[in-house]
Amino acid sequence: MLPFIRSDLAQFSAYKPHPSSDTNQAVDSSTHIDRLDTNESAEDLPPQLKAKLVWEYQELIENNRYPDGGHEELKNAIAAYVNESAHLSPSVFSAANISVGNGSDELIRSLLIASCLGGEGSILVAQPTFSMYGILAKTLGIPVVTVPRDETNFAIDLQAAQAAMETTQSPPIRVVFVVHPNSPTGNALTNPELAWLRSLPEHILVVIDEAYFEFSQTTLVGELAQHPNWVVLRTFSKAFRLAAHRVGYCIAHPDAIAILEKVRLPYNLTSFSLAAALLVMKNRQVLLESIPQTLAERTKLIQALRQNPALKVWDSAANFIFSRLQAHDSVSPSVDIKTIHQRLKASGTLVREINNGLRITVGTVEENVRTLKRMQAALASLECVSH
């Protein structure tokens, strides 16, 4: 360890991004590599929109100039979309309710800096959930309190959560992070969970991450006015097909937005990313047309995977599904899930192995057919080994 580095950082490992190069060696060049491990959209922008973006880069973006650091045009477009998609009047949210980040990851970090830094607060998460809350908190020296979920439906253990709120000290819990619907498990917030969030006092920041809103079509933005301590996060990385551009946004009370604007870096988005985000907002209709097909493919994939008695497959409100091996005596589910994950990878399908299960992104029709075929083969080979 370098002697000038904060001592608590020694124990952390860096977030492992897409395992690109090593996986390409695992399969021969004729095999399709299906990247179903990060819940991106299966499709790039349609060619005419990609061409439009290229044109904007060519004609409008000056490489020698700093980007628009105020994001005003994009914020207006996002506010209009948020109102429209939640069936609210066009005046409910405006640019003053929006802050834009370099991915929602930046916004998560800004929220942590603004609320908990300097020993002022801990955060609460219910495991399993999106890993970045804990990772980012720890790199800032912010303690992470975890509570479990029900193993059958992944509902948050609300008794444990309430007890943690009441007993955690030095520092007390300042922020509760929930994903709606949750990753990796795909379940939306339940009525008891919502009632609990509504009951939290105003000195607790409630972060509702709606990264998969376009797939779930359920949102809590309509309740933000009654709860000035709630913020909603969204991203352009999933349904809007812009994972490469790193754009996320926060919807909140203008006072909370003002703080986020203070904390962020002045030019946190590149001119190209701003152009891409604005382009997808202007063309949202056409991009959102593909959502029903993704949802239909999700249903098909779940039903087909459930044909296999070795698998337990949960319902999902997002563009991915969560699956585990059915408990059975002769084998160890945790070892076997790793084997299945490796076999899928060797046959060209990348999925996320997480919390004793697999999180599988819903892909194109062709990709999903291959997922089923390769899953069948991986499970069959496991049967051979264990008997």
Tell me which residues touch ligand PLP (CB under 6 A).
Answer: 39, 103-105, 130, 179, 183, 209, 211, 235, 237-238, 243, 248
- Residue 136 tokens read as 């980012």
Q: Which is nearer to ligand PLP, 105 or 193 (CB)?
A: 105
Asked if residues 71 and 269 have their Cβ atoms less than 8 Å apart, the reply is yes
Q: Which is nearer to ligand PLP, 53 or 318 (CB)?
A: 318
3-class SS at 174?
Answer: strand
Q: Which is nearer to ligand PLP, 242 or 340 (CB)?
A: 242
How far from chain centre, in Å, is Cα 173? 22
- Residue 139 tokens read as 């790199």
**To the nearest whole angstrom, how small is the minimum distance from the Cβ of residue 130 to ligand PLP?**
4
**To the nearest whole angstrom, how small is the minimum distance from the Cβ of residue 184 to ligand PLP?**
8
**To the nearest whole angstrom, how small is the minimum distance from the Cβ of residue 151 to ligand PLP?**
20
Asked if residues 110 and 264 have their Cβ atoms less than 8 Å apart, the reply is yes
- Nearest by Cα to 377 from 345, 330, 354: 345
- Nearest by Cα to 201 from 168, 173, 232, 171: 173
Q: Which is nearer to ligand PLP, 209 or 297 (CB)?
A: 209
Instruction: State yes or no: cis peptide before 148, omega within 30 of 0.
Output: no
**To the nearest whole angstrom, how small is the minimum distance from the Cβ of residue 208 to ligand PLP?**
11
Q: Which is nearer to ligand PLP, 86 or 211 (CB)?
A: 211
**To the nearest whole angstrom, how small is the minimum distance from the Cβ of residue 231 to ligand PLP?**
13
Cβ atoms within 10 Å of 371's Cβ, excluding its own: 24
Cβ atoms within 10 Å of 348's Cβ, excluding its own: 19
Closest residue to ligand PLP: CB criterion: 103
Q: Which is nearer to ligand PLP, 183 or 268 (CB)?
A: 183
**To the nearest whole angstrom, how small is the minimum distance from the Cβ of residue 240 to ligand PLP?**
10
3-class SS at 206?
Answer: strand
* 3-state DSSP helix/strand/coil % of the chain, to nearest 5: 45, 15, 40
